[in-house]
């Protein structure tokens, strides 16, 4: 379908001040502000009419501080909450209680736990694979067992992985693979934005839906604020495509909105899967320019490991469904092993997901496992560097024991506050031997780790609190796959376009970044 036809079927959301004033977003904002005003008014009323309120406030705050010290939370987050309690004792302690009780997420958490429990044994681990001497010798079997405490994430052989060093490369292959779809297409992305990229994809999805292919699209509800209208699912369904937003924005205060679906998954017929940092918007393929040249990466899987991404999608899709659709989906054999040409394959692949509502810090622990086991190098590309104490210590310890730790970061930021926060870590990391580089042509959105010519991770997980603690995420862990050489080659080619961060460049950094980096570091766990 031509781009013009797609735009006519689904008109692009209008922009402008009047559209904002009369939008659903504006109404939601007004209602949320009203709720905040009422809470603050109640606090002010108590302060004015109860003479012993100050004593109560002091004792209440002291109790919350004791509670905080005994709460299972990383030390950086504790310091942030202590500062907030010091500034505004009662409102802060109420907010802490409200956040930790997670009242808005009790239903969501229960639903996810149910779905994970129901599907944990859908994909059994091949014992021959996990007992392979290579897997055991590298301790990847231990990592696999840890991951399977939180979900269903086997380690696979018989999977071919292709690495894409740009959004343009991924887009070209994605279009080719979509046109081959015969049974189903599942898309789950953090961002959809109308334009050339999504228009081209949507045209193929519409044609496939007409051919009887089961097409399902899911995106994060924050798109209703940033890129899409709130009725977008209904408009897409007119094309024969099933569509939904995860956690749509509604007009009430809740911790529910803290957990976003940051994953990027595309599965076709249970045979092919795409994963990585690339969303479905034009800047990701440099069709439009935002923050200079947009550097991003992805992987394409063909083979048995695609099963895991299929299951990840089905779990998220069924969160809002009254009755899970496992039986109907199983008729596609989408969770059965896919036989394909295995000639030339080597290595092992382990797709995994990270859920913010369980007790496992999967994303962070996989990264720290790579750092702690590395002997030669760990090379990283990440758009953000907002570290907790544990991850920063792991990075520094790896460098101090002689591992070559290099991190490529954006040269042109998308968020200045996040950029300032990243720079607040520079001095400490460099002092420990970590080498930092900034990509001069523009913005790095890739989430890539490679180590010792043996291990690599490509996925959606940034080095910041939101990815590591608050988002639904996913990634592809690889051990001794052929594409690791391509990943390392891409890292070095990208490195040639970077400026190195040195003590001198830190000294000469703009005052704006120095000031706000130090200031915002207090609140970094909340960002």
The residues assigned a catalytic role are 262, 264, 269, 445, 447, 452
Q: Among all chains, which residue has been given the structure tokens 């924005």?
A: 249
C-alpha distances (whole Å) from 37 to each of 40, 44, 240 are 5, 10, 44
Residues 258, 262, 263, 266, CA torsion sign: positive
Q: Among all chains, which residue has been given the structure tokens 């942030």?
A: 80
End-to-end CA distance of the chain: 41
The rounded distance, in Å, linking the Cα atoms of 159 and 301 is 7
By CB atoms closer than 10 A (0-12, 13-18, 19+), residue 416 is: exposed
Provide the phi-psi class of 101: left if phi over 0, else alpha when psi is between -120 and 50, else beta: alpha
User: Is the CB of residue 285 less than 8 Å from the CB of residue 167?
Assistant: yes
C-alpha distances (whole Å) from 331 to each of 259, 273, 278, 327, 336 are 32, 19, 30, 7, 10
- Alpha helix locations (H) across 71-139? 75-87, 89-101, 106-119, 127-130, 133-137
Q: Give the DSSP letter string of 355-374.
A: -TTSS--HHHHHHHHHHHH-
User: Is the CB of residue 217 less than 8 Å from the CB of residue 242?
Assistant: yes
The rounded distance, in Å, linking the Cα atoms of 127 and 118 is 21
| Backbone angles phi and psi of 459, in degrees to 5 | -170, -145
Closest-CA residue to 59 (of 85, 36, 20): 85
SS3 156: strand
Q: What is the 3-state secondary structure (H, E, C) of 235-262?
A: HHHCCCCEEEEECCCCCCCCHHHHCEEC
CA angle, 474 then 199 then 212, to 5°? 80
C-alpha distances (whole Å) from 363 to each of 15, 104, 193 are 37, 24, 27
Q: Give the DSSP letter string of 499-524.
A: EEP-HHHHHTS-HHHHHHHHHHGGGG
SS3 37: helix
SS3 124: coil
| Backbone angles phi and psi of 442, in degrees to 5 | 165, -135
C-alpha distances (whole Å) from 285 to each of 321, 391, 408 are 33, 31, 20
Q: Among all chains, which residue has been given the structure tokens 């659709």?
A: 325
């Amino acid at each position: 379908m031509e781009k013009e036809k797609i735009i006519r079927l689904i008109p692009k959301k209008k922009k402008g001040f009047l559209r904002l004033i009369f939008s659903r977003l504006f109404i939601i904002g007004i209602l949320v502000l009203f709720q905040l005003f009422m809470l603050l008014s109640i606090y002010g009323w108590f302060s004015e009419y109860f003479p012993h309120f100050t004593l109560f406030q002091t004792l209440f705050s002291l109790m919350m501080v004791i509670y905080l010290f005994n709460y299972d939370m990383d030390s950086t987050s504790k310091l942030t909450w202590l500062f907030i309690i010091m500034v505004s004792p009662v409102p802060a302690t109420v907010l802490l209680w409200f956040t930790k009780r997670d009242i808005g997420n009790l239903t969501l958490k229960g639903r996810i736990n149910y779905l994970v429990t129901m599907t944990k044994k859908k994909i059994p681990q091949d014992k021959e694979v996990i007992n392979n001497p290579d897997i055991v010798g590298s301790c990847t079997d231990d990592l696999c067992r840890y991951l399977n405490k939180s979900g269903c994430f086997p380690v696979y052989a018989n999977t071919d992985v292709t690495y894409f060093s740009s959004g343009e490369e991924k887009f070209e292959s994605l279009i080719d693979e979509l046109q081959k779809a015969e049974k189903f297409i599942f898309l789950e992305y953090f961002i959809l934005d109308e334009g050339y990229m999504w228009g081209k994809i949507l045209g193929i999805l519409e044609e496939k839906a007409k051919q009887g292919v089961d097409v399902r699209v899911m995106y994060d509800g924050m798109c209703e604020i940033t890129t899409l209208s709130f009725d977008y699912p209904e408009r897409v369904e007119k094309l024969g495509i099933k569509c939904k937003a995860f956690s749509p924005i509604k007009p009430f205060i809740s911790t529910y909105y803290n957990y976003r679906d940051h994953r990027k998954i595309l599965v076709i017929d249970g045979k092919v899967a795409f994963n990585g940092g690339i969303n479905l918007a034009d800047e990701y393929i440099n069709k439009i320019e935002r923050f200079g040249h947009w550097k991003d990466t992805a992987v394409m899987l063909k083979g048995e490991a695609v099963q895991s991404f299929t299951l990840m999608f089905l779990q998220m899709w069924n969160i809002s469904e009254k009755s899970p659709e496992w039986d109907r989906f199983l008729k596609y054999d989408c969770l059965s092993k896919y036989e394909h040409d295995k000639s030339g394959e080597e290595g092992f692949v382990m797709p995994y997901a990270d859920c913010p509502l369980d007790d496992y810090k999967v994303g962070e622990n996989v990264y720290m496992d790579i750092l702690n086991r590395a002997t030669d190098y760990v090379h990283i590309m990440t758009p953000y560097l907002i570290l907790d104490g544990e991850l920063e210590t792991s990075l520094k310890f790896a460098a101090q024991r002689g591992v070559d730790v290099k991190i490529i970061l954006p040269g042109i930021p998308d968020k200045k506050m996040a950029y300032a926060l990243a720079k607040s870590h520079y001095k400490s990391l460099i002092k420990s031997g970590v080498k930092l580089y900034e990509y001069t042509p523009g913005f790095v959105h890739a989430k890539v780790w490679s180590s010792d010519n043996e291990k690599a991770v490509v996925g959606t997980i940034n080095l910041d609190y939101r990815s590591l603690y608050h988002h639904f995420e996913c990634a592809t862990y690889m051990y001794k796959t052929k594409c690791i050489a391509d990943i390392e080659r891409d890292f070095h080619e990208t490195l040639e376009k970077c400026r190195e961060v040195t003590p001198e460049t830190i000294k000469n950094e703009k005052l704006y970044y120095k000031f706000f980096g130090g200031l915002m570091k207090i609140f970094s766990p909340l960002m």
